[in-house]
Amino acid sequence: MRQYRDKEDFTISFDEHTLPIIEQISEGMPGGFFIYHADGDEELVYINGAMLRIFGCDTLEEFKELTGYTFKGIVHPADIDKVEESIKAQIAHGSDNLDYVEYRIVRKDGMVRWVEDYGHFVHTAAYGDLFYVFIEDATERIQKRMAELERVNEALYGARLREDYFRRALLYDAVSFVEINLTRDEFISASVLNAEGKVQNLFIFMGIQPFEKYSDFAAFWADFTEAGELNEYHRFFNIERLIRCYEEGEREQTYDSWVMDMYGRRRLSHYTFFLEKNEHTGDVIALSVSRDITEQVERQSLLKSALRQAETERLTRNTFFANMSHDIRTPLNAIIGYAELLKGCVGDPGKVGECIEKINHSGEELLAVFDEFLKDNLSEPSRAELTEREYHLGELLKEVEKGAERPIKAKNIKFNLDKTGLSHFTVEVDYIRLREILNQLLDNAVKYTPARGQVSLMVRESESDRKGRRMYRFVISDTGCGIPEERLEAIFEPARQEKNAVYNGMPGAGLAVVKSYVEVMGGDITVESKVGEGSTFTVSLPIKYPMRGSYMEQEGKTLDAPGDAEDKSCILLVEDNGINREIEEELLKNLGYRVESACDGVSAYELLKVSEPGKYALVLMDIEMPGMNGYETARAIRRLENEKISRIPIIALSSDAMEEDRQKSLQAGMNEHFVKPVDIEVLQILIHKILEDADHEYE
């Protein structure tokens, strides 16, 4: 029932004398007009002729029979409560305007129509409280508006559904996105990520005419599918099957298929269908996403093959250790480098010096732990190819001695390095493998020798040549616990290695790897041992040595600071890490070198391209850099038109420590690969060697 406000009752003289005048006026109205009591059963007082037309009645009696001649009888039963609540709420807000509602009516012929209702309350002397109302048939206008709202709602629902689709597609790294109305067998959209990573229309990208039906598009792609997979292909993409999957709750369908792509390449495509239902239309909708997994599957195949060889090669673990090497050595370079700089400039204020020593000690200890862990987990090297290049044995022996220095000092072991039997220090050898052999044997000797014991490393060179090589013998002796005679034959066997490594403290850790390295280098290894007295391991290796002489042939030669010739040129240091660049630059300057720096490969290339020949003597090149990495920069330098600049010596200065990393540097055109953290003395020797080689090349 319509309500009104007591405080603002509007009283007019509305009686039986007034009604005829209202009848005369309202009969000429194009729309419906009626008056009804505001209380009781809401009985009608008056209707005009247009009301009969709106309700499809010919006479007033028909109208009264249809509606009961009440306001409630006019309104569709399902709408009456909503209508009266709306009128009540509008009046309660105090508006003096006509209240407005929309509702349905039922005509005499049973047709349901929509009307707009404008009404207002009046108080009369003769009839009491009344409502007078104007109505108009607005069925077409309201239905159009409702259809538009329905369209908007459907669009919003579709947008939400598509957002959810594409979010899931992105998680799948999809390269194509096809939206389909399965119920109607039609496309909603078809997109693809092009080479630039931008979304493009699938059909434009493929250069074909758009398909109207998805089933036709699926049939088109069947021609690119391998014959042996056609039955499964047709089964998977069958629209009826996909709709059935949705109805059975299987709303995510996947399928892998070998196809020929638009370039004629055999590729493995991974398809995923996400199935949903449009709540407004009831249609089953699907988002079909696909991605090329050829490389991924090939990598998995290689990985499976590698895992089958894991007992002898441990290839998969090498990847882990190579990455770990880079990640750990980079911060270590900063720790040890700053400690080195501080030592040279602080002086001797006790507490600061002690702190510096602790920084240096911690960095070297962490590096030693890492190297030990890496050595013990290297892959089986027996199938690897040798990489023989010119090196200085004095440099190698110094590096091996330095690696064992801390545990030797910690146990107060007397260590002796005897190189008097060497006459040729410059050799051509697989430096990495020889270093690992000596590191492992010396590490075992120190580990199993008690405090205040003795360990020695002696190197001898034979006079006899063997196919252009000399036999070098490396003898590592200790006064440790020794090895029982019955275990000597098994000490190098991989199956016994782990057991030997912990059995009563007997040496053996890493010896299987050592033996494999020795054999691949064409040598042999023997051991002599007595329990309680110690062990002696002898490694015999045929090693080449260059025929021409070298300044490094003179063991113990002092490397002076650069002279006048080097003062006319300088080193170009290429390093993207600001901290490392500062450290390395200062270390080089402390040795007397002039240094210019570049923060990335592009900058280094531009500097060299416009430089005068001879301005830079050598390039120290980091590998991992943004924009253009060290390998790419080296290749670009080697392609420069100016031959003298293009042949400038380049040393990789990298935290990547594996042999394959060194090979990448050499293949990119670099002269050598130096591993961080920087041992400035060893680096100085390498720089002298590289510059000397360059001088010989230009002679």
CA 125 to chain centre: 84
Domain CATH for 102: 3.30.450.20
Residue 200 lies in a domain: yes
Alpha-carbon distance 623 to 652, whole Å? 7
Same-domain status, 265 and 369: no
Residue 349 lies in a domain: yes
Same-domain status, 432 and 492: yes
Same-domain status, 127 and 180: no
Same-domain status, 681 and 566: yes
Q: Is pLDDT at 113 greater than 70 in this prediction?
A: yes
Q: What is the mean pLDDT of residues 125-141?
A: 85
pLDDT digits over 531-571, tens only? 889 999 999 999 887 654 443 444 544 444 444 434 446 99
Residue 455 lies in a domain: yes
Domain CATH for 433: 3.30.565.10
Q: Where is the domain boundary, 253, 270, 297?
A: 297
Alpha-carbon distance 521 to 387, whole Å? 10
pLDDT, residue 465, reads 62
pLDDT band at 346 (very low <50, low <70, confident <90, very high): low
pLDDT digits over 69-86, tens only? 999 999 999 999 888 888
In the block, tokens 């790419």 appear at 632
Q: What is the mean pLDDT of residues 370-397?
A: 64
Look up the domain containing 630 and give its range: 561-698
pLDDT band at 93 (very low <50, low <70, confident <90, very high): low
Same-domain status, 241 and 353: no
Q: Where is the domain boundary, 359, 379, 399?
A: 379
Residue 421 lies in a domain: yes
Residue 251 lies in a domain: yes
List the beta strands (DSSP E) in 186-247. Answer: 186-193, 199-201
Same-domain status, 547 and 566: no
Q: Is pLDDT at 350 greater than 70 in this prediction?
A: no
In the block, tokens 């720096």 appear at 597
Same-domain status, 116 and 167: no
Same-domain status, 99 and 230: no
Residue 304 lies in a domain: no
Q: Where is the domain boundary, 533, 552, 571?
A: 552
Total number of domains in the chain: 5
Same-domain status, 393 and 521: yes
Same-domain status, 543 and 396: yes
Alpha-carbon distance 673 to 13, whole Å? 111
Select from 353, 430, 378, 355 the least CA-distant residue to 662: 430
Residue 307 lies in a domain: no
What percentage of the chain exceeds 70 in pLDDT?
72
pLDDT digits over 164-173, tens only? 555 555 545 5
Residue 179 lies in a domain: yes
Domain CATH for 567: 3.40.50.2300
Same-domain status, 492 and 587: no
Structure tokens at 687: 């720089």
pLDDT, residue 360, reads 66
Select from 215, 279, 289 the least CA-distant residue to 254: 289
- For residue 343, the SS3 value is helix
pLDDT, residue 161, reads 59
Q: Quick one: CA torsion of 593, 595, 600, 603, rounded to 10 degrees?
A: -130
pLDDT, residue 636, reads 94
Q: Residues 285, 265: contact at Cβ < 8 Å? A: no
* Residue 539 DSSP code: E
Residue type, 479: T
Sign of CA dihedral 658, 438, 407, 505: positive
* Residue 503 DSSP code: G
pLDDT digits over 165-212, tens only? 555 555 455 677 788 889 999 888 887 777 676 778 888 887 888 888
- Which residues are within 8 A (CB) of 104 and not within 5 positions of it... i.e. 6 or more apart? 75, 76, 78, 79, 112, 113, 114, 115
CA 417 to chain centre: 49
pLDDT band at 498 (very low <50, low <70, confident <90, very high): very low
Structure tokens at 134: 């104007």
Same-domain status, 68 and 117: yes
